[in-house]
Structure 1
């Protein structure tokens, strides 16, 4: 308890506290030595806690009625000029019972809220493990969340505390395991109080877990050796893999992560968690720059034309026991690094290395969302780059897709060294499409120079297209319209005319 809390209790006429129907109050037991015989005690006993109820308003209705009644009881004392101290374990406004009194009384009577030590801080102190350091993000979660939500949030955060365990413990444990955080997770029961217990979460019997317990996933940085810092290494060959890892220490893992088309807003929780957990990051420099620096991680950056070398480097590191994230833009399986990694991973000596591919938001979907719904029906995705396949193959596929009346998402349309492909593609498409077919030019989607424009196919200017632009060409059914706010939207109907 804080000094101020003791002072307020000493000066109060009435001591109020919440408890379950058994009548025992943790808050009162904490403050017991400071209570006087002449204190008026108001035990605010919940009609229900977690059990069912036959109240006509259901569980929420029963509690709301109780809170109104409890507030009215305290208001009687306040109207009589008495000072009321509502004692609450932890902090009154942090998942505390007092907050329901506060909402009903604070606007009517002079109120002072005395902050307290939360169970989060107490648990970390009893574990002797820092909660968060440097730029780490701490997430506090109620165990009552659905399992999928818990899993996603645990995967995406640096450190976490899950509260309100009890009967939610099996769900929380499964979420920890599914998110890969179980080995890091600790269990704390009744921190700083009689009956305190701390153990690894994985070792806890669910039948022994009370409501007043928490799970803590502490700081990763705190476990690093003193003085550990983030190093940035440029690596394009397997020679660097040998320089950055010693003898094999057992199989590691390679996770191929898609960062989406731009920054953190496009990153999935699963991908965010994989990037945080990795010991080594391998990727094209531009994509690595999107990932926050974390102490203890090694970065192996290279240019954009050494996919196989990057894949081999990542697998060599994993073969030496490292957890490696190969960072890719967009979705790693669409014109990106997943193919290169899997191709090398199916060769000796890498066949035993675990490889996972995590999905990301691909540029076609991001651009389509900005424009409306131009890919709302069947569509094809084609790269116009002839660096890895001949133009004749590209032209044949454009003819086939256009002839089938598919909307088209065209990746890699042009660059400094490829200036004629967009014009040639326009010619081929005009053999199958009307001149006024909508074409979306989506550039730097999600980035600082984002622009989205719609032109007619006949008016498509190759000089306005570069490597950062994605083209979406509508089908014969695609429509464009200007709305009252001046914005233009493009969509392809889901219904297709009967033949």
Structure 2
């Protein structure tokens, strides 16, 4: 007597709703299956079954997997998640009984089985025990884009799929950061999603698609949609920006009110770029900045780039403001934080004078070089600290020295920007000697170069051993107070930290 062979499990994607969008493979499996299973709410109706109905034989076993609840409230001892887990275990056991009896089981899934689909819960519980095949289906994302007739992404654009159930702050950040997006699971989340789109500055771009390819399909600009009319089977779409950006600068003039946003990109690459900054850089018609910093921003189709030398900040600021007066959306690119020895001051100074007083200007913060360097060393800025630029191009060295003495006398940790360059070679030595009048020779000094970049080097030396020849414009110096510690740990690393408690005076 031979042992009975188990049946096969199929997760079958049905596409977004139109039965004609069911794949040939999916239709064939539905027609041949011994058992057809599908999820439904307590009312018993199943959209999945209605899509698959043309392909059913009529004599198949149907397993209706009815959810025990439809909102996140329950008296189950395990709460909402516990109730669902129990339901999925019971549903999987029902399907396992058919598979053990040698019956092939098709589990119907709207869209794609492994894309926010209910089938995945059966898959995780059964696929390691039975032969399984997943048949992909057209997703609601693809259907929505097709119905809108707008590209989702082009070239190097990034598409983000977001569940509308995320908290509003998280939705806002992700919408601000991405090029294109589709927000799923609207329904009761629609007011939150709409606020997030508005807060991220993306509401005007957003499109609404309801029941794509199904009866009752509707598309509209999302801003015009009545929140009370939004069902679960709807999505919000932010299509590709490329055509819109190309159109906005096709004639050299903007469409609508222009603005200047001074964007902090952090000390190095994109890992430390904030979501808001990333979104503004992607949505700008024009990028303005020092060429070295502009090179850190990806090239985008339809976007104009205006690079210049690092010694023309005032001219760069006025150029950006002139573009904005013509209706352009201008991002002025600044490394680190734009308000720390960077472009925000130059832009605001120009914007407070004629003829730029009415031009909208915003400043977006960025990770500072001091904070990036401190994170690599440990926590040298854990107590009060001062930030000083050693450059004497815009202020006399006597002013620099006076501020160093005051900070040293106050026993503040010091973050020293712009310490040296090819044409400025004396400042680091002068600062070291001045500080040694107030600090012990073994005071820890963090020398951090190109933090976050490909040639990053961070090391700690004694103040007395600080060598000016090892310092350039890409280096920042963090000089400890009398309380700062440099401690070797058991794993061979050294950490530098300044206690938050200060000894009584």
| 2:226 paired residue among 198, 205, 213 | 205
Query: Per the alignment, do residues 51 and 418 of structure 1 end up closer, same or farther by CA in structure 2, a change over 3 Å counting?
Result: closer
Counterpart CA distance in 2 for 1:142 and 1:173 is: 13
Does 2:64 match 1:65?
no
Match of 2:8 in 1: none
Match of 1:380 in 2: 386
Match of 1:490 in 2: 496
What per-residue deviation string (whole Å, max 9, x for no partner) do you get for residues 386-427 of structure 1? 000000100000000000000000000000111001111011
Partner of 1:339, secondary structure, is: helix
TM-superposed CA distance for 1:37, in Å, is: 1.7
Match of 1:6 in 2: 27
Does 2:368 match 1:347?
no
Counterpart CA distance in 1 for 2:348 and 2:244 is: 32
Counterpart CA distance in 2 for 1:437 and 1:51 is: 57
Match of 2:402 in 1: 396
Q: How does 1:253-268 map to 2 (within 5 A)?
A: 253-268=259-274
2:245–2:283: 8 Å Cα contact kept in structure 1? no
TM-superposed CA distance for 1:81, in Å, is: 1.0
Partner of 1:113, secondary structure, is: strand
How many correspondences in the alignment?
A: 483
Partner of 1:87, secondary structure, is: strand
Runs of 4+ in 1 over 3 A off after TM superposition: 222-226, 248-251
Q: How does 1:61-460 map to 2 (within 5 A)?
A: 61-223=82-244, 245=252, 251-460=257-466
TM-superposed CA distance for 1:245, in Å, is: 4.0
Q: Structure 1 regions of 5+ residues with no counterpart? A: 230-243
TM-superposed CA distance for 1:251, in Å, is: 3.5
Counterpart CA distance in 2 for 1:449 and 1:161 is: 38
Moved more, 215-224 or 162-171: 215-224
Partner of 2:411, secondary structure, is: coil
Partner of 2:323, secondary structure, is: helix
Counterpart CA distance in 1 for 2:233 and 2:344 is: 45
Query: Per the alignment, do residues 224 and 380 of structure 1 end up closer, same or farther by CA in structure 2, a change over 3 Å counting?
Result: closer
C-alpha RMSD over aligned residues: 1.3
Counterpart CA distance in 2 for 1:82 and 1:404 is: 81
What per-residue deviation string (whole Å, max 9, x for no partner) do you get for residues 47-77 of structure 1? 0122411111110010000000101111111
Counterpart CA distance in 1 for 2:131 and 2:433 is: 77
TM-superposed CA distance for 1:224, in Å, is: 5.5
Counterpart CA distance in 2 for 1:458 and 1:245 is: 57
1:256–1:325: 8 Å Cα contact kept in structure 2? yes
2:37–2:65: 8 Å Cα contact kept in structure 1? yes
TM-score normalised by the chain length of structure 2: 0.94
1:245–1:317: 8 Å Cα contact kept in structure 2? no
Counterpart CA distance in 2 for 1:63 and 1:51 is: 10
Counterpart CA distance in 2 for 1:21 and 1:445 is: 57
1:250–1:319: 8 Å Cα contact kept in structure 2? no
Counterpart CA distance in 2 for 1:126 and 1:359 is: 39
Counterpart CA distance in 2 for 1:222 and 1:251 is: 19
| 1:46 paired residue among 60, 67, 91 | 67
Partner of 2:318, secondary structure, is: helix
TM-superposed CA distance for 1:39, in Å, is: 1.1
Q: Structure 2 regions of 5+ residues with no counterpart? A: 1-21
2:443–2:484: 8 Å Cα contact kept in structure 1? yes
Match of 2:42 in 1: 21
Moved more, 32-41 or 185-194: 32-41
Match of 1:466 in 2: 472
Counterpart CA distance in 1 for 2:282 and 2:468 is: 40
